[in-house]
Every structure is written in C-alpha cells, then in structure tokens.
C-alpha cells in the first residue's frame, strides 16, 4: 500500500525549460511534505519543503505547490539546468515533520542540453 506515489519513473526536459515533477499521497494525516534530490552513491539532499497550512513555497529556481483537496503536490524547476539531472524523491510526514518520512519511488529527471 503505497501512501506516496510518484507515477513517472523518468522525465526528460530540455535545458532552460521548466521541469514539473508530480507526487500524490493518500494519507490524510500527512501535514509536511519535502522534496529530496539524489545523485548516485550519495544520500538524499534536502531541496524544499512545504507545510500543509500553505499551498506554495518558493526557493530560488524551485517552487513546490500543494493541493490538499486533491492530495497532490508538484515541484517546479525553472529554468532547468544540467546539474538538475538526478533522482527526485517526494516525501511526507505527519506530526509537523517530527515523524519519520514516507517516500515515493522517485522520478529520474534528465536535463537534455
């Protein structure tokens, strides 16, 4: 029973364009959502987060949108750069982020030159 789903295993985007990564969740108790980026042979690196009291959070080129009614969040990267090529994990937590994270399976983003 997957509580966090990333339905696109991979995504290819041209350099300079917008990358949009999607994530759906089923557990209504989740109230804190995070995106992590992972390079091969490294641990996940925190990218951006959003609390359930917000519907948008921005940090430089990265914006996360949360639609609670649809139980859906998305990560927008604008503009996409070659260094953005990595696996992106969506994660969710209850307890305001104090609880352990439930992860999706990840989306492999490939930025084409």
* Total number of residues that touch other proteins (CB under 8 A): 29
Q: Which residues contact 99 (CB under 8 A, 6 or more apart)?
A: 93
Structure-block tokens of residue 59: 């940090």
- Strands 45-51 and 19-25, by their bridges, are unpaired
CA angle centred on 98, ends 22 and 9, rounded to 5°:
20
Stretch of 13-21, 58-66, 70-78, 89-97 contacting other proteins, by CB under 8 A: 89-97
The binding track of 35-54 with respect to other proteins, each residue x by CB under 8 A or -, is -x----xxxxxx--x-x-x-
Residue of the chain from 84, 104, 109, 111 that contacts other proteins (CB under 8 A): 104
Catalog residues that contact other proteins under the rule CB under 8 A: 4, 31-32, 34, 36, 41-46, 49, 51, 53, 89, 91, 93, 95-106
């Amino acid at each position: 029973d997957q509580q966090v789903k990333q339905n696109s295993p991979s995504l290819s985007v041209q350099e300079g364009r917008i990358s949009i990564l999607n994530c759906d969740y089923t557990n209504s108790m989740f109230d804190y959502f995070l995106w992590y980026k992972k390079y091969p042979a490294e641990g996940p690196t925190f990218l951006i987060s959003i609390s359930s009291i917000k519907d948008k959070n921005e940090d430089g080129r990265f914006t996360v949108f949360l639609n609670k009614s649809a139980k859906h969040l998305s990560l927008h990267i604008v503009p996409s750069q070659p260094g953005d090529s990595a696996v992106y994990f969506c994660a969710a937590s209850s307890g305001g982020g104090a609880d352990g994270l439930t992860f999706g399976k990840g989306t492999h983003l490939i930025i084409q030159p």
